[in-house]
Structure 1
Amino acid sequence: MGSQGQKVAVITGASQGIGAGLVDAYRQLGYAVVATSRSIAPADDAGIVTVQGDISDSATADRVIAAGIERFGRIDTLVNNAGLFVAKPFTDYTQEDFASATGVNLTGFFRVTQLAISHMLAQGGGHIVNITTSLVDNADSNVPSVLASLTKGGLQSATKSLAIEYATRGIRTNAVSPGTIKTPMHPAETHQALAALHPVGRMGEVRDIVDAVIYLENAPFVTGEILHVDGGMSAGH
């Protein structure tokens, strides 16, 4: 059980990149953290509980939320960070690509968010943050990405819908819409080309997205916001 009054954040896709950065940031805020991914290792920090599993499997969502309640007694924030990005020409997508992207990006959001909100309602409030992609609002002929737009675009719409549904019940829902971020997903040899996609001429850093999420965490009058952290991509080229 967490210390009296300690808040608890659940972070999906937490083993590397943005997710790992979010775990560190929420711990620095004094939150206990439930961190999940397929390959996450046990944590040395007593304030972190890790849960291995595929978030597209509803049983994983069940285990993640149950672990948070069992260890810490509450759920205050859920960051839906887990995501799968497959960039292909539309007609090259396979049924397996479709199943994988919708599984992680949509099914993975759906069950864990339902469970988290149920606990937030019982305790009187909470916060959901969804990580999307700037390509939802700014399609780019250099990056064919219909599956990302389909799935992460769904998350953006769900963000606004949840914000309104729960606006009077103490639960805020926001999204961060990143450009291309320098994470292990992108090999170093691709960085120059990826930097050129952004009007500012560089890729984003993990800290750029983490800072945006923490801003939203500390902004009680902000809900239903899609916060673009994309080096100007959403403004145009």
Structure 2
Amino acid sequence: MSTPDQKVAIITGASQGIGAGLVEAYRKLGYAVVATSRGIAPSPDPQVLTVQGDIAAPATAERVAGAAIEHFGRIDTLVNNAGIFVAKPFTEYTQQDYDAVTGVNLSGFFRITQLAVEQMLRQGGGHVVQITTSLVDHANSAVASVLASLTKGGLQSATKALAIEYATRGVRSNAVSLGIIKTPMHPAEHHDTLAALHPVGRMGEVSDIADAVTYLENAPFVTGEILHVDGGQSAGH
């Protein structure tokens, strides 16, 4: 159990890469964390509760939110980090691709965010953060990304809509829009090619994203913001 004044964060897609980095960052802030993904392992840290499940399924969202309230008593922050990226020419996407990407990126946002915001309103405030991609704002002919733009673009619009809907009720909503981050999903032999896609000439680090989310967490006057952490991609090439 957390102490009565300890804040609690839910982080989706938390088993590796950016998600695991965010768990660590929120623990450093003193938060208890509910971390979820399909294959996440139990944590030795008593202040990190792990919940296995597919966030695209509403039942998983119910279990995650319920676990946060049962074990820690509140929800102060939700980071919608879980996401799928499938790079294909538009006409080659299959129905399976569509269902998988929209399932995690959109359905995986929808129910867990409803449940978190309901709890935040009962508490008097909270913070929701979406992890999106700068391809939404700056399409790149080298990266076929219609499904990413369709889903993550929707999240960016929803981020602003949530921010305005709840601006007077203490719930903030922001997004961090990424370039390509050095995580296990990108094999080392591709790093030089991926680095060249960024004007600064390098890939991002997990710590870059954790720092950005931490900034937003500690910025009470910031809501409705799409913070680009993308090595300059959204500015141009």
User: TM-score, normalising length from structure 2?
Assistant: 1.00
CA deviation profile, 1:122-155 (whole Å, cap 9, x unmatched): 0000000000001000100000000000000000
Gaps of 5+ in 2: none
Deviations 1:162-216 (A, max 9, x none): 0000000000000000100000111111111100100000000000001000000
Deviation at 1:4, TM superposition (A): 1.7
CA distance in 2, matches of 1:75, 1:3: 13
Runs of 4 or more above 6 Å deviation: none
> What's the counterpart of residue 28 of structure 2?
28
Helix, strand or coil at the partner of 1:127: strand
> How far apart, in 1, do the equivalents of 2:194 and 2:137 lie?
17
> Counterparts of 1:2 and 1:62 in 2: how far apart (Å)?
20
The aligned counterpart of 1:14 is: 14
Structure 2 match to 1:215: 215
Amino acid at match of 1:152: K
Q: Name the structure 2 match of 1:108.
A: 108
The alpha carbon displacement at 1:2 in A equals: 1.1
Q: Which amino acid aligns with 1:216?
A: L
Taking only the aligned residue pairs, the percentage that are identical comes to 78
Give the corresponding residue for 1:139.
Answer: 139
CA distance in 1, matches of 2:191, 2:95: 29
> Corresponding residue for 2:201?
201
SS of 2:198 mapped into structure 1:
coil
Mapping of 1:164-183 within 5 angstroms? 164-183=164-183
How many residues align structurally? 237
**Cα distance in 2 between the residues matched to 1:45 and 1:196:** 38
Q: Counterpart of 2:155?
A: 155
Once the two structures are superposed, the pairs formed by residues 36-51 of structure 1 within 5 Å of their partners are 36-51=36-51
CA distance in 1, matches of 2:30, 2:201: 35
Q: How far apart are the structure 2 equivalents of 1:133 and 1:157?
A: 13
- Give me the CA root mean square deviation: 0.4
Instruction: Supply the AA of the counterpart residue of 1:188.
Output: A
Q: Which residue of 2 aligns with 1:67?
A: 67
